[in-house]
Amino acid sequence: MENVKVTIDGKIVEVPKDYTVLKACREAGIKIPTLCYLKDVNQIGACRMCLVEIDNIRGLQASCVYPVYEGMNIHTNNEQIRQARKVNLELILSNHNRECTTCIRSENCELQQLSKELNIKDIEYEGEKNAPPIDDISPSIVRDNSKCILCRRCVSMCKDVQKVNAIQATDRGFKTEIGVGFNKSMNDYNCINCGQCIQACPVGALYEKRNMDQVWKALADKEKYVMVQTAPAVRTALGEEFGMPMGTRVTGKMVTALRKLGFAKVTDTNTGADLTILEEGTEFLDRVVNGTGKLPIITSCCPAWVKSCEQDYPDVLEHLSSAKSPHLMMGSILKHFYAEKAGIDMNKAFVVSVMPCIAKKFEQDRPEMEARGARDVDVTITTRELAMMIKEAGIDFVKLEDSKFDDPIGEATGAGAIFGATGGVAEAAFRTVVEKLTGHEIEQIEYHQLRGEKKIKEFSAQAGDRTLRGVIVSGIGNIKEILEEVRHGESKYDFIEIMACEGGCIMGGGQPIVNARTKEDVNVFEKRAAAIYEEDTKAELRRSHKNPFVLRLYEEFLEKPNSHVSHELLHTGYKKRDKYPDECKKQ
Amino acid sequence: MLENKCNCGDGNNCNKISEEAINKIKDIIESHKEQEGALIEVLHEVQDYYGYLPFEVQKLISEEMGIALADIYGVVTFYTRFTIEPTGKYRISVCLGTACYVKGSQKIYDKIKEKLNIKEGEVTPDGKFSLDAARCVGACGLAPVMLVNEDVYGKVTADMIDEILGKYE
């Protein structure tokens, strides 16, 4: 790329000619306030915070969308620029519900931070405010447009990155609102509950449906035996909520905190993941060896992907594994096996899942996710909600000692842990499937070609004389080509892993929210992924089929993978879903 | 809080589109098949035919054209010419743009409201007339301007209202 020379505040810098003014300024170490700008997602020059002055160009320009050119002379700090930025920010604030103390994003709000940085003292423009209704009908997500600043970061995320396209700017002028339209809830639309819009939102306009109160209530109920399980991705990011460096593995502290909160049993969803590998892996082998079902098999542990499949690719549903997702399997086992063995009344057993995901709330709520009259899981909370609970309980998380998951379920394998990153489910599955196919132990269990941030990763694995081909799709926005092939019977793969969030569950919609500016400097995926692979290498056992609790489970209860009991408790089915349901609710 | 409601209009009968209307709308879309960026034209033609663009109609367009419903709704609500509510057989628009307003179009607008006994965006009980305000129709030289469907009336005064509306009795 050719370089150009530009002058920024009197300093000459050389930058590639496809840079924007903002990018050039950042590289020159000059801080320019931004709000609607989100790297790689949203660059539309809407908020007018990043205004700069360019010699010989009339008026101030939005630096995030202005390309550099040779000889450009840029000014970023003078009275006119500062005033313009302030006025624009005050105008945004004038139609913003400024109830900061009770806002979910208080202290983690980019608007609040910017108001502080620009020294906003009072807002001159008090006038009419939009007061749109809060949409909290979805089991996963809440939209409060009184907080919305119309930056459109969520719209770009939904439309351009995830390609779900559920929300859009509606109406015009003062009445402009982000939503699905027709005064409808996101719940009645093609929203897949991935929650990436929450990760994109700079303010408190989007957040998860909070279920903490149900957890507190259950914990206070003497009649209930409350068990908790935590997904692999939670431990890689929970520490961020307490100011710990990104990528700190806090497994031990998390277990201690959960025990302090009063859970009777603290268990690991990773064991549920190990169980999933045996169920799904066996189903896969059966399809490969005996032709009992459609190939390629497609993973079904991501509930956002499952909803997308039901509404956008219903003709591909037969390819989905019938295995329930790990936390549902775990919930089912806690209730139907563990509770009975421990002499706990099944009706008193209560299972809480801590997940990096908001779609898990929707999944848990699906009517079919139950067995023998008991819900698989009773309440699902996010990583963020767990952090809120720990804070509310006055637990000093950083200073906690480490402790281990409760016996007899105990520690899971490293294979269960890596479920949390893109490619992890495939890697865990192949560690087991290849050994089962060949009948002997494999030395090399790390599949590095399945790791990393690439959106599409192809791989093949040799099992005896058989070559198994697979592909990993990271991000629901990247599924189209691969699924079109499946749809037309032209797929060259045997195994497809799909995760709706780019990077997998560690980047899920329920994880701690990272500020847009931090995202420019830090690769969040790399940090959290490193933590999850460390969890794997530090594990005593790294193959799902070696998990002692899972082995015991088959011996004493389930008989064998895909047995009759397994099917009753651990498997399910999916059917076509209307993208925009319009059934009359009044009748 | 948003109400958990369906999109069935006022009564308990959902606005199901007739088979005939579905086919007609599909024909309109088909006639623009090869054309890029045809959404706005399709919306115009469908609205001319169906009268308005309710949920069911936009959903059909979304499915047939492969455009997300949220995007279509965004376009429909951006342009005042499109409506998601039923309109009268004759749509009256009075221009309240700057030039017309200065020339007294507000009086015309008020007179029509009084005469038909409806407010902005409403339809007369017999379904004949609906009323809305337009923001400049590009005929400022004729200000004040009003439209009844595609008919344009220029240099309108309040006294002319009875005569104009009389044509559509």
CA distances in angstroms from B29 to A82, A577, B71, listed in the order given: 50, 25, 17
Q: What is the pLDDT of residue A585?
A: 56
Query: Using 50, 70 and 90 to split pLDDT, how confident is the model at B47?
Result: very high
- Which of the 8 DSSP states describes residue A206? E
Q: Which two tokens stand for residue A387?
A: 């952090």
Dihedral angle computed from the Cα positions of residues B89, B90, B94 and B95, in that order, rounded to the nearest 10 degrees:
90
**Contact assignment for B71 to A182 by CB distance below 8 Å:** no
Q: What is the pLDDT of residue B5?
A: 57
Q: Rounded to a whole number, what is the distance in angstroms from the first to the last CA of chain B?
A: 43
Please check whether residue B62 touches A, CB under 8 A.
yes
Q: Is the pLDDT of residue B12 over 80?
A: no
Higher pLDDT, B145 or B150: B145
Distance CA A449, CA A350 (A): 40
* B3, B8, B77 ranked by CB distance to A181: nearest: B77
Please check whether residue A134 touches B, CB under 8 A.
yes
Query: Using 50, 70 and 90 to split pLDDT, how confident is the model at B10?
Result: very low
B-chain residues near A169 (CB < 8 A):
74
Please check whether residue B66 touches A, CB under 8 A.
no
**Contact assignment for A584 to B70 by CB distance below 8 Å:** no
* B2, B68, B77 ranked by CB distance to A170: nearest: B77
| Residue in the block written with tokens 């309240």 | B96
Distance CA A211, CA A378 (A): 10
Q: What is the pLDDT of residue A131?
A: 83
Three-state secondary structure readout of A465-485 = CEEEEEEEEECHHHCHHHHHH
CA distances in angstroms from B162 to A350, B117, B118, B157, listed in the order given: 72, 14, 16, 10
Across chain A, which has 587 residues, the per-10-residue mean pLDDT values are 95 96 96 95 95 96 97 97 97 95 96 96 88 93 97 98 97 92 92 98 98 98 97 98 97 98 97 97 95 95 98 97 97 94 92 98 96 96 98 98 92 94 96 92 91 96 91 97 96 97 98 96 96 95 95 96 96 95 62
Residue in B15, B69, B120 to test binding to A, most A beta-carbons within 10 Å? B69
Distance CA A46, CA A64 (A): 10
Please check whether residue A173 touches B, CB under 8 A.
no
* A137, A181, A580 ranked by CB distance to B2: nearest: A137
Secondary structure class of A268 (helix, strand, coil):
strand
A-chain residues near B56 (CB < 8 A):
582
Please check whether residue A517 touches B, CB under 8 A.
no
Q: Which two tokens stand for residue A453?
A: 């941030």
Could you check whether the bond before residue A408 is cis, i.e. omega within 30 degrees of 0? yes
- For the segment B95-120, the average pLDDT, to the nearest whole number, is 94
Could you check whether the bond before residue A296 is cis, i.e. omega within 30 degrees of 0? yes
Residues 6+ away with beta carbon under 8 Å from B67: B39, B61
* A133, A137, A582 ranked by CB distance to B55: nearest: A582
Q: Which CATH class is domain A3-77?
A: alpha beta
Residue in A154, A172, A178, A182 to test binding to B, most B beta-carbons within 10 Å? A182
Q: What is the pLDDT of residue B3?
A: 66
Q: How many CA atoms lie within 13 A of B159 on its CB side?
A: 1
Architecture of domain A212-570: 3-Layer(aba) Sandwich (3.40)
Distance of alpha carbon A196 from its chain centroid, rounded?
7
Give B90-166's CATH code, choosing from 3.30.450.20, 3.40.50.10260, 3.30.420.40, 3.40.30.10.
3.40.30.10
Q: Which residues of A169-189 are buried (b: 16+ CB within 10 A; e: fewer)?
A: bbeeeeebbbbbbbebbbbbb
Helices (H), A20-130: 21-27, 79-94, 110-117
pTM for this entry: 0.92
B-chain residues near A134 (CB < 8 A):
1-2
Please give the single-letter amino acid code of residue A89.
L
- Give the DSSP H or E segment for A402: none
- Helix A424-438 crosses helix A269-290 at what angle (to 10 degrees)? 50
Q: Which fold has domain A102-208?
A: Alpha-Beta Plaits (3.30.70)
**Whole-complex ipTM:** 0.92
- Give the DSSP H or E segment for A304: helix A303-312
Residue of B nearest to A146 (CA): B1
**Contact assignment for B68 to A165 by CB distance below 8 Å:** yes
The domain locations on chain A are: 3-77, 102-208, 212-570
Distance of residue B166 Cα from the nearest chain A Cα, in angstroms: 34
Q: Is the pLDDT of residue B6 over 60?
A: no
Decide: residue A303, CB within 10 A, 0-12 exposed, 13-18 middle, 19+ buried.
Answer: buried
Interface A–B counts its CB contacts (< 8 A) at 79
Is residue A39 within 8 Å of A56, Cβ to Cβ? no
B-chain residues near A580 (CB < 8 A):
55, 59, 62, 69
Please check whether residue B9 touches A, CB under 8 A.
no
Residue of A nearest to B53 (CA): A182
Distance CA A177, CA A309 (A): 29
The domain locations on chain B are: 19-78, 90-166
Residue positions of A annotated with a catalytic role = 280, 283, 301, 321, 360, 363, 368, 505
